Amino acid sequence: MTDSVILDVWCELQCPDCNSALDDVRALRARYGDRLDIRLRHFPLEKHKHAFAAAQAAEEAAEQGKGWPYAEAVLARTAELGERGEAVLLDVARELGLDAEEFDTALIDGRHILIVDADQAEGKAIGVTGTPTYVIDGERLDGGKSQEGLRARIEEIADRLLAGS
């Protein structure tokens, strides 16, 4: 029997579909708690010009201990991010009590670019083309077209893995 299962969520923080997928992520978190390790993976799309900066900001938030809360807060404001750009990323950091100055510096010095690039390269290598895309136990589930049935499939795989069958 395995202690925990990894669910990679390939996400783009300027993507409205990723925002709607948060309901599933929250439900999975509520159901499995620590037994499901939900990892935020970055897949910024070129059509969203602030997505790459948002991914870097999310990495800074993770370093400051609030990766998921930050990602969720930014996703709740995808339209505003599209209009106002990086100012929104700093606003969200402040609202969550994070060090906004450090965010600003991180975006300027690019200290998280390698992580974002590596995620994107890995995503491309395994066939991620849009967001959200989930990967659990080597199975890729593409949520960019429809979220329908994905949570049930993730639960089915997680239950099987956790039962050790």
pLDDT tens across 44-78, in order? 999 999 999 999 999 999 999 999 999 999 999 99
Per-residue pLDDT band at 10 (split at 50, 70, 90): very high
Rounded Cα distance between 102 and 141, Å, is 35
Q: Are strands 5-11 and 36-42 parallel, antiparallel or unpaired?
A: parallel
Predicted local confidence at residue 147, as pLDDT: 75
Predicted local confidence at residue 1, as pLDDT: 55
Predicted local confidence at residue 95, as pLDDT: 97
Contact 134, 7 (CB under 8 A): yes
Contact 102, 60 (CB under 8 A): yes
- The domains found in the chain, sorted by start residue, are 5-164 (3.40.30.10)
Please count the other Cβ atoms lying within 10 Å of the Cβ belonging to residue 27: 13
pLDDT at 2 over 80: no
Q: What angle do CA 25, 95, 65 make, to 5 degrees?
A: 55
What are the helix (H) ranges across the chain?
16-32, 51-63, 67-75, 78-84, 86-95, 100-109, 113-125, 150-163
> Higher-confidence residue: 31 or 145?
31
Mean pLDDT of 144-157: 86
Predicted local confidence at residue 148, as pLDDT: 80
pLDDT digits (tens, 9 = 90+) for 85-135: 999 999 999 999 999 999 999 999 999 999 999 999 999 999 999 999 999
